[in-house]
Amino acid sequence: MAERLPSRTFRAEAGQPLYDLPNAPRPPEDMPAPPRFLPAYDNLLLSHKDRTRVIPGNRPVPLPPGNGATAGTFLVDGMWQGTWQIRDQSLRIQPFTKLRRADRDALLTEAARLCAFVATQAKHGIILENP
């Protein structure tokens, strides 16, 4: 069905077809993806059969217990690298491994944007915990 749409076709590493808009901007392959904070139960980590493109090292998919999740995950260069939680008026970021300086700085910039979006009237501290 997708083959009938006006699109540009690419091939994934495993050979399956990937579709994109014909004139969409495409960054160079070696350009790192910016950090992103994802909510709990995000579609990116839960709905794909093969998650190796975003979850390194066969880490289990996060499924927070209970009603209403209180923690999310974050990506660095498109890969799941840790969790985050807003608690005690602070955004607490817990990476799985030590981040490179450039990645850490970009993550903290995105964290400030998240705080500004989530609570525009409140002052949230940002705490980057050690792995």
Closest among 87, 100, 97, 106 to 37, alpha carbons compared: 106
95: in domain: yes
Q: Is residue 108 part of a domain?
A: yes
| pLDDT < 70 stretches in the chain | 1-3, 62, 64-69, 119-124
Q: Residue type at 83?
A: T
Which residue range(s) make up the domain with 70? 29-128
- pLDDT score at 69: 65
pTM: 0.78
Q: Does residue 23 lie within any of the structural domains?
A: no
In the chain, the number of structural domains is 1
